[in-house]
Structure 1
Amino acid sequence: MLRPIVHIVAQSVKDVLMSLVDDGLVTMDKIGTSNYFWSYPSAALQSSKNKFKDLQASLEKEKAKHQRLQDEIEEAKETREDTDERAELLKELAELKAKNKELMNELQKYKENDPVLFEKKEKAAAIAKEAANRWTESIWEIESYCVKKFNMDRTAFEQNFGIPEDFDVLN
């Protein structure tokens, strides 16, 4: 009844209602060929309470699992024997970790001379050189245009725009 007066699009009402149903804020029942929508204020509260109970149960379950795993760890520590072989292996492990750290530090020193990194730097330098030469040639083109168009002296142009006498392409 409101649609012709207020110009409400029926499809947008359906979309909003379906999104509310999907979010669980509105309940829908199909009775015959009609869909009925409703929402009670206590439904949201009840839904929140149910979710809270589920989360509490899940939390208790995870706490129990955590405690069980802690107990297993303690039991494994108690049953583990401190043998000479184990102590020797732990000492060897510490030495190997120290040697690994030392080798990693040494590797960092030589990283500057890495052939792959050096090649990347060479390529970047070549690209930068090409770009600088392109800009140099563009400046010469502008200079040539201005000299011809405005009948200027080339040295006067270079002085006015701060172009040095040794301005040239990079080799």
Structure 2
Amino acid sequence: MSKKKGLSLEEKRTRMMEIFFESKDVFQLKDIEKIAPKSKGIAPMTVKDVLQSLVDDNMVDCERVGTSNYYWSFPSKALNTRKHKLQELQKQISDASERKVSRQKAVEKAKVGRQDTKERSSLQKKLQALRDDRTKLQAELDKYRECDPEVIDEMRKSNVVAKEAVSRWTDNVFAIKSWTKKKFSFDDSRIDKAFGIPEEFDYID
């Protein structure tokens, strides 16, 4: 046997509104918490949240008197609230319709001069052919970039800087070797072997 399906939030809200409309009375939360489960089948644990949702939507009035909150809602208020909500929805529909018409006009305007004619099709093909040629020419140009005088000049400058850096490091290596020989009386071959320095190590011409 299947379990009885619980009430949805909207069903609970509707039933709770019936409490106010049928009685046309003012209640405290504790009154609603007693009435709602018995007469409307609303789960006790959800009564407060359902009531607060109605207050938030301006369907139920709430006023604090002393230390207690009082709740009420009369059919006339609910009717006015629904009318106001309906007006809001109608305005949203109207605004959406205006935006739709405006965008349709913009689309139609954008289409002017872009009809799929033979001339347009021919021009598009020519444009694509020119783009393809440009891509091929760019690829050819990249092949000969190494022969570009500006690129060669830049490479020469880079080589000079690199050579100067290598010379500085070579100076440092020879200085360390000289200091090691004086300090520890090691010969060149022993120093080279200890530090992994090749026999042909020297300045670059």
Q: TM-score, normalised by structure 1?
A: 0.51
Q: Aligned letter for 1:124?
A: S
Q: Deviations over 1:60-114 (max 9, x none)?
A: 79x93x8635523324526766554434333322222222222222222222333
Query: Is the 8 Å Cα contact of residues 114 and 120 (structure 2) preserved in structure 1?
Result: no
Alignment CA distance shift 1:76-1:132 (3 Å): closer
User: Can you list the C-alpha shifts for 1:27-81, whole angstroms capped at 9, x where unaligned?
Assistant: xxxxxxxxxxxxxxxxxxxxxxxxxxxxxx9xx79x93x8635523324526766
What are the residue-to-residue correspondences of 1:145-156 with 2, within 5 Å? 145-156=179-190
104-113 or 77-86: which moved more?
Answer: 77-86
Percent of aligned positions with the same letter in both sequences?
38
Distance between the aligned counterparts of 2:157 and 2:196, measured in 1?
Answer: 31
1:73, 1:86 → 2: CA distance? 19
Q: 1:156: how far off?
A: 2.4
C-alpha RMSD over aligned residues: 3.1
1:132 aligns to 2:132 (yes or no): no
Q: How many residues align?
A: 111
Structure 1 unaligned residues grouped into runs of 5+? 1-56
**Cross-structure match for 1:7:** none
User: Residue in 2 aligned with 1:77?
Assistant: 111
Instruction: Give, as a single letter, the amino acid of the residue that structure 1 aligns with 2:204.
Output: L
Residue 115 and residue 83 in structure 1: after superposition, are their counterparts in 2 closer, same or farther (change >3 A)? Answer: same
Deviant stretches of 4+, over 6 Å: none
Max radius of gyration: which structure? 2
Quick one: distance in 1 between partners of 2:164 and 2:104? 64
Measured against aligned partners, the alpha-carbon deviations of 1:118-149 in whole angstroms (never above 9, x if no partner) come to 22222222212211111111111111111112
1:142 aligns with 2:176: yes
Task: Give secondary structure in 2 for the equivalent of 1:165.
Answer: coil
Distance in 1 between residues matched to 2:178 and 2:104, nearest whole Å: 82
The CA distance in 2 between the partners of 1:124 and 1:140, in whole Å, is 25
After superposition, the Cα gap between the structure-2 partners of 1:150 and 1:106, relative to the gap in structure 1 and judged at 3 Å, is same
Partner amino acid, structure 1, of 2:153: E
TM-score, structure 2 normalization: 0.44
- Which amino acid is 2:124 matched to? L
Structure 1 Cα separation of the partners of residues 184 and 144 of structure 2: 57
Q: What amino acid is the match of 1:108?
A: D
Seen in structure 2, the aligned counterparts of structure 1 residues 67 and 134 have a Cα distance that, compared at 3 Å, is: farther
Distance 1:84 1:132 in 2: 66
Q: CA deviation at 1:150?
A: 2.0
Distance change in 2, residues 1:68/1:146 (3 Å): same
In structure 2, distance between residues paired with 1:135 and 1:123: 19
